[in-house]
Chains A and B, each alone.
Chain A
Amino acid sequence: MKINRQDVETVALLSRLEMTPEELEAYAVQLNAILEYADILNKLDTKGVEPTAHVLPLKNVMRPDEVKPSLPRELALANAPEAEDGYFKVPKIMEG
């Protein structure tokens, strides 16, 4: 077993997902199958092999530091589930 129900619960929390007990069971089975399949990677000796996070040899793409028009506030807020006085509104994040 690569990943048990308990692990899935932890990963779900880290992923900010809420799961029913049935979902936790089902995902444990499915993620296990995928991770077991991924085990074949361990057949390869990759000692000393550079990782490729990105195929292009691009580094630090810069542009001149010039002020340009930005998205108007009303457009930036247009899709907000809740907004007030020009700000995004969220549930209380602190006690008191």
Chain B
Amino acid sequence: MELFKHTAHALHDMLQSKQISAVELTNAVFARTDAVEPKLRSYITETREQALAQAAAVDNKIARGEQIAPLAGIPGALKDNICTKGVKTTCASRILANFVPPYDATVVDKLAAQDAVLVGKTNCDEFAMGGSTENSGFFITRNPWDTDRVPGGSSGGSAAAVTAGQAIWALGSDTGGSIRQPAAYCGNVGLKPTYGRVSRYGLVAYASSLDQIGPFAKDVTDCALVLNAIAGHDAKDSTSINAAAPDYTKALVQDVKGLKIGLPKEYFAAGIQPEVAAAIQKAVDQLVAMGAEVREVSLPHTEYALPAYYLIAPAEASSNLARYDGVGFGHRASGSDIIDMYKKSRSEGFGPEVKRRVMLGTYALSSGYYDAYYLKALQVRTLVKQDFDKAFAEVDVLIAPTAPTTAFKIGELSDPLAMYLQDICTIPVNLAGLPGISIPCGFAQGLPVGMQIIGKPLAEATIIQAAYAFEQANDYHTRFAPLGEG
């Protein structure tokens, strides 16, 4: 089997036992990228030289007989909204096309401490706003299972890269589903941690009260390893949770006996593709056969979560994106005076979806509309969160589809509102700040279906254990996308 097809944990053993070298592995991933990148376009920037230097350093450690960290020498990719010192970080926006951060995000520091090899920065929807990666300011990324389809978004490049073997693991960011939904569409594992579990320092802000960085991986074990590497308190992020992160690999236990699963009935309502609902139901039946208990629960404010999100997130975005003014960094256009310079710089630099959300947010926060829209949405957010609190008084985890359908065709959802509806199963989780994981649970017409397991705050271990038990009883995670056949 080609090296790029292996998981990080298998490759770790091969590295430590000197069956392969980190440089060899990194070159194998580059060769894979050379082969598939023209079709997929997962990367905005590749960092091959730097990656080979990192790999060589790991090989030296191994040669000296040192024990290496789990991700040491394993090639991974970062969504291009995560700051990397000295390496361009564009957020897939023309306004940041030449931006080179003067510092590393905390997650990048943590990965460096593990000697992980970083091979590149992946494409995404501009400033993480979108669900298909079609909103990138540069180019679209394609789904390895069907190149006529989207990889999902906004972290579509990270999802496609992991599925296609252009990286063994990757990081994305999830504000309303931007890790879980592309993981579902590309058939890999994606986890959004509890809000505050992973530092946001160096993650370019979209909607600060919702954004969270998390892993993409080929299986649940790798997902736990990447989460181990990045989780924990960070003094540089005042919203980071001040509690030690556990060792998530301890949750890799194939046991769901007595696990109480709730099925939120609102997530199986009209609009869900029948094959998706059927795949989830089949997976739940399997977990029940393995000893879990299941009951239907209700999250009655689900239908209000989406409109609340599309006021709150744009409101925060309109404020966060005010910094792109052509002064300190980013694109500057010439103007007749400073206001004209601001307007021209921003209009040339931002794409249509970013402009739409900035205007929507500005409107929702503007005098006369603040109470009717923004404050109302924040109150609804409280109700959405209370729904989860009530459900979690009865059950340990909630299981639902990750997305209402499998990956859609490029250009299929041209209406913004239709695109927003794709986030219906993921957005409430961000509003409540909960952890959620998406794992492959079947196929519909050859396209992967993602199952979402939602946990209580800081219960990443519980959802990882449930996901691991299901994964190990099936072989969905071992299947390769058509592009993955080599």
Contacts and interface: CB of A to CB of B under 8 A. Distances in A.
Contacts of A35: 360, 363, 373
Given A11-B363, A17-B355, A58-B238, A90 B383 contact: no
Interface residues of A, number: 48
A28 to B, nearest CB: 10
Contacts of B332: 81-82
A1 interface: no
Given A50-B382, A54-B239, A91-B337, 20 more contacts: A11-B362, A14-B362, A15-B355, A15-B358, A16-B325, A38-B311, A40-B303, A41-B307, A41-B380, A46-B379, A51-B379, A52-B378, A52-B379, A76-B102, A80-B327, A80-B328, A81-B326, A82-B332, A91-B334, A92-B337
B204 to A, nearest CB: 13
B307 A30 contact: no
Q: Sorted from nearest, which 5 A-B pairs have the closest CB atoms?
A: A55-B433, A51-B378, A79-B329, A81-B332, A46-B379
B60 interface: no
B359 A78 contact: no
B195 A90 contact: no
Contacts of B433: 55-56
14 contacts: A16-B342, A27-B355, A31-B356, A31-B360, A33-B415, A41-B380, A46-B383, A49-B383, A52-B385, A55-B195, A56-B433, A79-B102, A92-B337, A93-B337
Interface in A31-83: 31, 33-35, 37-38, 40-42, 44, 46, 49-56, 58, 61, 63, 71, 75-76, 78-82
A91 B341 contact: yes
B209 A54 contact: yes
Interface string B362-389: 1100100000010111111111010000
Contact of B328 (A14, A44, A79): A79
A92 B338 CA distance: 7
Contact of B416 (A30, A50, A55): A30
A84 to B, nearest CB: 13
B181 to A, nearest CB: 20
B383 A91 contact: no
A21 B337 CA distance: 22
Nearest to B385: A52
A18 B238 contact: no
Interface of B: 98-100, 102-103, 195-196, 209, 235, 238-239, 241, 301, 303-304, 307-308, 310-311, 318, 322, 325-332, 334-335, 337-339, 341-344, 346-347, 350, 355-356, 358-360, 362-363, 366, 373, 375-383, 385, 415-417, 420, 431-433
A49 B387 CA distance: 14
B238 A90 contact: no
B375 A51 contact: yes
Given A40-B303, A56-B196, A16 B343 contact: yes
A61 B363 contact: no
Contacts of B339: 16
Given A11-B362, A37-B307, A63-B235, A18 B328 contact: no
Given A12-B359, A46-B376, A61-B238, A55 B432 contact: yes
Contacts of B328: 79-80, 88
